[in-house]
Structure 1
Amino acid sequence: MADVARVAGVSSQTVSRVANAFPGVNEETRQRVQAAMGELGYHPNSAARALKRGAFHTIGVITFTLSTTGNVRTLEAIAASAAEEGYAVTLLPVAVPTQDEVRGAFSRLGELAVDAVIVIMEVHLLDAARLALPPHVKVVVVDSDAGDRYAVVDTDQAGGTRAAVRHLLDLGHRTVWHLAGPEDSFAAERRTVAWRAALAEAGREAPEPVRGDWSAESGYRAGLRLAEQPGLTAVFAANDQMALGLLRALHERGRRVPEDVSVIGFDDIPESGSFLPPLTTVHQDFAEVGRRCVAGVLRQVEQDEAERGTTLVPTRLVVRSSTAAPGV
């Protein structure tokens, strides 16, 4: 800055005012300073300005895994929404979802200078009362049951599940089997609880769920077991990827979909309409989840006050060709 001031024949304060687009500098002086900046290859240091002002226009995102469709699409939506607001995103994956790892991630994000943090952590770690995030941090948590202590944005897991089960029962199926997600997943637990409740409300017995790990391969392995169940006519899979594996297993075992077994998924991934047959599924609005996460943390930054409570993003049932009345 001192070099620019010398070349332009002005004070360093004038250079600073030009660099920060402050008013009060006449046009001839502004052009002379900008020409000197170009000659010397000078660029204002945004990091230094952020440190001086105490605002970095960066949102930190802590996530446990990027191997699931939901996490990836939520992250994409957060990045897009942040960019619309003029914010950058700093991603910090957590290798192992432990309390120490999460606390360490917050410490590292503090060193990287962020204004607020969004946590995408589907395991139950953040639900434990013993885990407290750093005080005064502006945070929104995705997919959690920690709304009494933090601001949470979540898809309406229970509502989407109830719609899926009711759809199958309304078609005439006596009960609905469940291909569940992993035990440590909050979303998987919510969907399993809602599945049981929907069957109980209808006076139907809930078969023992078969569990996968969100992957198509686990859905295939579970599907081989489900295909051997003689009374099986309908399956609610906790996500579309496992439903894809289930469709393969049923096909290999000679169980036609939907003539013999109806299959419904959860997520409505872009490829679900191209499954064979096209998959009936519950649509999650990941873009809206991302928008509400960014809006939530920026509201906290502007008000300089943390928030609590849970915001649910509605789901909707997308009916395609993988479900039908039993025996059709």
Structure 2
Amino acid sequence: MDLISHKKELIDITGLFIESIKFRQPDFVDLIYQKFGPEIKEEGVSFINMAIESENVETLSIVIDKFKITQEAIDLLKSKKEKKEDLIEFVAKNKEFFEYNNVLIIQECIEESRFKVLSRIIKLGYILEDASEEEKLLIYEGANLENIKTLSENGVDLYKTSPNPLYLSVSKSSFEVMQYLVDNGSLISEKSVDKAKSISENGSIEMNDFLYKNRDAFKYTLAETFRHSVINKNYRVLQELFEDKFLLAKLDDDDVECGLSSGSFEMVKFMVDNGVDVRIKNSSSLIYAAKTENLETFKYLIS
């Protein structure tokens, strides 16, 4: 018996291979396989499972080509909810081995807020423009401002695509994302405009402010601005409107009625103090004040 054969008899080759995988030693894993490959026995163990558990991509890339991938290994990989970034990227590159599709990869990137990984995956050849509606929805609905910037900086067209990221951010009232998209030339669809105005009208001072700031882009009319500001008691915007005498003169009876019907004495007094003529041509301002059952407002108007 020669010296090499004697040494091999003293060493548990399979055990050494297993320990190298567990302790994340890819160089050792590769060397042992090259020297003793045929003698390494995968009996009752799965080397791929071990590599997945170790979350070492270099080790996994070695064993994935040399041993059979089992359903157990696939299920194990999918069950690991907090994968390291390089492991997610590795799966994306080798998705056919792990029965993964783009939706699963995108979901994991979003769930773990791994948008930088997603951007790198896109650079590897995953073309967002060719993605399905479902895949795009997953990306845009899960994105915050930092994520949107990351995607944009990596060449993803967020502005003329469908589904429209702006509409989704409006639906979530994600104002930072909305402003970023508008400032960078996003397509502002009629659907996005209608959604934003509906949110403002139903009581959102933040949306009221956003629309007023971007009034030209969203075609936010004077009447809409005034009425929404009354609804939201947005005195800052109202003050700006009242300071422009030209705009003040354009308020019609319907606008005045909206203010008188607000039920707020402070709002009515604010309007009068800023020069709004509360005399209504076709009906009485007192009737609208009376409808609110606010005696203080009623007394103020008849005094």
Larger fraction in strand: 1
TM-score (norm 2): 0.30
Q: Which has the larger radius of gyration?
A: 2
- Structure with bigger RCO (C-alpha 8 Å, 6+ apart): 1
